[in-house]
Amino acid sequence: MLIPLLGTIAGILLGFLIPVEIPVNMVSYTAVAIMAGLDAIFGGMRAQFEGNFSFQKFLTSFFINIAVAAVLTWIGDLLGIDIYIGAVVAFSIRIFNNLSILRGLVYERLFHKNK
């Protein structure tokens, strides 16, 4: 669990330290890709805590989530509909769900390991 957490922190720090300008027409794609990546990362952390982490499953989840989200955003652009907002909401719900479960697992591990 430590390696994904350190990688996430390092990525966030690099994001703040290295100035990157995202073209306006790519902002929705970037937002969805970030949310899809975060969903996979927190899902991987949850799986690690539950003891059933698979690196292959993590990688496929990471890239397939990003690809599907990008395709939905692209279809929405073609139709003139902001479909990406639905993907962002869905990924946000999944992220908060995984964080809630992670919080419970960490709490159990830290405060109830003697029982």
Q: pLDDT tens digits, residue range 18-47?
A: 988 889 888 889 889 989 989 998 998 899
CA atoms within 13 A on the CB side of 78: 6
Amino acid at 94: R
For tokens 């949850």, name the residue. 46
Q: How confident is the model at residue 82 (pLDDT cuts 50, 70, 90)?
A: confident
Q: Which residue range(s) make up the domain with 64?
A: 2-111
Does the model's pTM come out above 0.85? no
Q: Which residue has the higher pLDDT, 115 or 2?
A: 2
Between the alpha carbon of residue 109 and those of residues 50, 68, 75, 104, 112, the distances in Å are 11, 35, 44, 9, 6
Q: Give me the percent of the chain exceeding a pLDDT of 70.
A: 96
Number of domains in the chain: 1
Q: Which residue has the higher pLDDT, 87 or 99?
A: 99
DSSP-assigned letter for residue 51: T
pLDDT at residue 4 above 90? no
